[in-house]
């Protein structure tokens, strides 16, 4: 992909999560679709405010869990029934109660790994570059105590002057333009 | 900082009247009517069955069920005093009310003293000579006679009365102490709240340990000793987890129902409901973990003295019940509570919680009924088996009625708590 140039978007900084959510909700209501919220800790209402209700992490976790459980159970069954059918204490070779514990552990392991890596992949991580880090107040605030709303230039409603005054109507601490 | 005031202006305020809403009285009336109806049904079934044996067995199920709510409620109250968390503020008064139903459980238990001979072998054969005689007459197997003699120091009628009496005294002490201190805390000035929090923690911490020991003793006497040949060191923990399971389910049902009206309406948030759903999910997992762990150990050992307990409960049709128990007690709550949307939905979460309490009854039925000679490895229909529905339903209904009177006696929201201000805020302010 060729390097993009020009304006990435306008970034408004807020002091409280409540202010951010009110602004984000209003912007979504006013028809904005290319917008994002940035907070130092998870604020679920911010995701809901910009219309981000669902993600695919639960589905990935479920698929991962089922694959893990089925894989281990099949492996144990194959080993004990087909590959090395040993008589252990007179029990049947297909002794499912004993198979359940490792199968369960693998279910958990695969569910956890799928959730963690699925989340990273769906977030577009690892990302080597993000234009927002060009804004000095974002660099310092987004991981400590500031709450950001970014209206992106890709949105058809975007206009440098009008959008700036629109964002200022929410009384943010500041509005800055962010370059690619 | 003009923006800081926003959170405060969006916060809800508590109503002036914090007492329980009027519909709690309607619950009480309905519960009393249901209790009367099920009592009549239980009597009718006993007449049809020409025996009260099953009434007595089902009575033990009713006792463990209601005892689970009362003493389990006390335990969860102590846990939330130690763990903190805003969910605790939401459940505190319902849990206190559950712990104050202990007198009714004590009365339920007192009645058992008069019929232990019909339920427990250790109450019939109280001396070594009587077990020897029972063995000769073919009333006991060799294993049973041996176990009865070996366990006699604990399993005898005198110890039954003393140990259970002591357990009730201990639970009563903790229930009284935590309930009376909670009122004093509310009457005190808010500056002393940190001291109160410490105080509740210091009482509850050791209380949880003592609770675990006492319910182990009680569950051994009431249920486990129906089969004197059964040994399992995890038995008390199974009941501990079962109580957490049923208490959370019941507390969620009550809180959601109360949230329709003030004062709970203004402190009720989806965030805490979601947390409680997750907490319940943990107990669903822990329960299957311990139950399956016990099974796996006995299955691996494959000892003739140990496996009978499971064979009694798997063969002769009981396999159907344990399969249903697995589905009701684990599979259904597990798959349902896995869903985030369900945990955040009042109506559906209530349905799942009601189903979980039903599953507890099925599980107890599977534990109790096969302990007796006529039912072990032989699941069969008799009018008496329906007592397992009628008797616990009646006892539970009377317990619910008593619980409603307890709920009415004090304000439903504890005001001297630092969490109160937070729980009144909009959900996103304190993520």
List pLDDT tens digits, range B153-164: 999 999 999 999
Q: Contact at 8 Å (CB) between B193 and B417?
A: yes
- What span, in angstroms and rounded, lies between the C-alpha atoms of B333 and B242? 13
- Which member of A16, A101, A171 has the closest CB to residue B4? A16
Domain boundaries, chain B: 17-120+155-423
Write out the H or E segment, with its range, that includes residue A11: strand A7-14
The average confidence (pLDDT) of chain B is 92
Q: Work out the average pLDDT over B229-244.
A: 94
What pLDDT is recorded for position B62? Answer: 97
Neighbours of B277 (CB within 10 A): 22
Chain B residue at shortest CA distance from A172:
B3
pLDDT at B5 over 70: no
Q: How far apart are CA B316 and CA B378, in angstroms?
A: 5
Q: Please indicate whether, in this complex, the C-beta atoms of A21 and B6 are within 8 angstroms of each other.
A: no
Residue of B nearest to A48 (CA): B428
* pLDDT of B319: 95
pLDDT surpassing 70 at residue B47: yes
ipTM: 0.77
B296 and A97 within 8 Å at the Cβ level: the answer is yes
Helix (H) or strand (E) holding B130: helix B128-136
Give the confidence band of B9 by pLDDT, cuts at 50, 70, 90. Answer: low
Residue B431: the pLDDT is: 42
Give residue B2's pLDDT.
37
- Strand ordering across the sheet containing A7-14: A35-38, A147-152, A7-14, A174-179
Q: Find the range with the poorest average confidence among B1-15, B69-83, B215-229, B306-320.
A: B1-15
A96: closest chain B residue by CA = B296
Residues B361-382 pLDDT 10s: 999 999 999 999 999 999 999 9
Is pLDDT above 90 for B427? no
DSSP alpha helices (H): ranges in B264-410? Answer: 264-267, 270-301, 307-312, 318-326, 332-337, 340-343, 346-368, 387-408
**Contacts A17 to B, Cβ<8 Å:** 428-429, 431
Q: Is B39's pLDDT higher than 90?
A: yes
Q: Can you give the pLDDT at residue B79?
A: 96
Compare all CA atoms of chain B with the CA of A42 and give the residue at the minimum distance.
B431
CA atoms within 13 A on the CB side of B162: 7
Q: Given an 8 Å threshold on Cβ–Cβ distance, is B429 in contact with A100?
A: no
d(CA B427, nearest CA chain A) in Å:
8
- Partners of A179 in the beta sheet? A7
Q: Print pLDDT tens along chain A (180 aa).
A: 566 788 999 999 999 988 999 999 999 999 999 999 999 988 888 888 888 777 889 999 999 999 999 999 999 999 999 999 999 888 999 999 999 999 999 999 999 999 999 999 998 888 888 899 989 899 888 888 899 999 999 999 899 999 999 999 999 999 999 988
Whole-prediction pTM: 0.87
Is the CB of B6 less than 8 angstroms away from the CB of A18?
Answer: yes
Taking the C-alpha atoms of residue B74 and residue B208, their distance in angstroms, rounded to an integer, is 9
Q: What percent of chain B has pLDDT over 90?
A: 81
Confidence of residue B340 (pLDDT cuts 50, 70, 90): confident
- pLDDT at position B10 is 63
Give the angle subtended at the CA of B150 by the CAs of B305 and B111, to the nearest 5°. Answer: 100
């Amino acid at each position: 992909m060729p390097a993009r140039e020009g304006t990435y978007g306008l970034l408004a900084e807020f002091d409280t999560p409540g202010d951010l959510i009110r602004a984000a909700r209003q912007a979504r209501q006013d028809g904005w679709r290319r917008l994002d919220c940035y907070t130092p800790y998870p604020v679920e209402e911010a995701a809901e405010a910009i219309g981000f209700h669902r993600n695919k992490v639960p589905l990935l976790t479920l698929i991962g869990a089922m694959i893990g459980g089925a894989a281990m159970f099949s492996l144990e069954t194959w080993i004990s029934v087909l590959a090395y059918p040993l008589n252990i204490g007179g029990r049947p070779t297909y002794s499912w109660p004993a198979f359940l514990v490792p199968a369960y552990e693998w279910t958990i392991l695969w569910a956890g790994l799928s959730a963690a890596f699925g989340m990273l992949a769906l977030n577009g991580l690892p990302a080597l570059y993000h234009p927002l880090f060009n804004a000095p107040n974002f660099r310092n605030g987004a991981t400590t105590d500031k709450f950001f709303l970014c209206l992106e230039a890709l949105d058809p409603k975007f206009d440098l002057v009008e959008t700036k005054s629109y964002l200022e109507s929410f009384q943010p601490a500041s509005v800055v333009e962010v370059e690619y | 900082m003009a923006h800081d005031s926003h959170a405060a202006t969006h916060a809800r305020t508590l109503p002036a009247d914090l007492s329980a809403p009027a519909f709690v009285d309607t619950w009480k009336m309905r519960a009393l009517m249901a209790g009367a109806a099920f009592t009549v049904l239980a009597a009718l079934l006993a007449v049809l069955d020409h025996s009260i044996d099953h009434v007595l067995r089902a009575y033990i199920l009713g006792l463990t069920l209601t005892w689970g709510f009362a003493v389990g409620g006390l335990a969860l109250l102590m846990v939330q005093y130690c763990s903190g968390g805003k969910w605790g503020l939401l459940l505190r008064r319902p849990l206190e009310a559950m712990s104050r139903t202990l007198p009714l459980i004590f009365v339920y238990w007192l009645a058992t003293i008069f019929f232990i001979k019909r339920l427990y072998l250790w109450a019939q054969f109280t001396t070594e000579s009587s077990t020897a005689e029972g063995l000769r007459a073919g009333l006991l197997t060799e294993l049973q006679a041996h176990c009865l003699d070996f366990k006699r120091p604990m399993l005898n009628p005198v110890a039954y009365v003393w140990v259970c009496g002591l357990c009730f005294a201990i639970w009563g002490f903790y229930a009284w102490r935590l309930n009376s201190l909670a009122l004093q805390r509310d009457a005190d000035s808010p500056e002393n709240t940190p001291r109160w929090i410490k105080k509740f923690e210091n009482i509850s911490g050791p209380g949880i340990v003592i609770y675990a020991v006492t319910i182990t003793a009680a569950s051994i006497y009431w249920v486990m000793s129906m089969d004197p040949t059964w040994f399992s060191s995890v038995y008390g923990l199974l009941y501990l987890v079962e109580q957490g399971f049923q208490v959370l389910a019941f507390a969620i049902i009550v809180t959601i129902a109360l949230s329709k009206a003030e004062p709970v309406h203004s402190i009720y948030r989806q965030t805490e409901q979601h947390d409680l759903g997750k907490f319940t999910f943990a107990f669903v997992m822990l329960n299957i973990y311990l139950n399956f762990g016990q099974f796996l150990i006995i299955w691996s050992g494959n000892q003739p003295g140990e496996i009978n307990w499971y064979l009694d409960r798997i063969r002769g049709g009981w396999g159907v019940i344990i399969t249903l128990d697995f589905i009701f007690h684990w599979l259904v709550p597990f798959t349902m509570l896995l869903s985030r949307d369900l945990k955040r939905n009042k109506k559906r979460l209530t349905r799942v919680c009601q189903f979980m309490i039903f599953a507890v009854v099925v599980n107890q039925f599977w534990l109790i009924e096969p302990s007796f000679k006529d039912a072990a490895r032989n699941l069969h229909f008799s009018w008496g088996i329906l007592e397992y529905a009628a008797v616990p339903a009646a006892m539970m209904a009377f317990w619910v009625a008593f619980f409603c009177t307890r709920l009415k006696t004090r304000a439903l929201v504890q005001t001297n708590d630092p969490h109160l201000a937070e729980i009144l805020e909009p959900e996103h302010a304190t993520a």
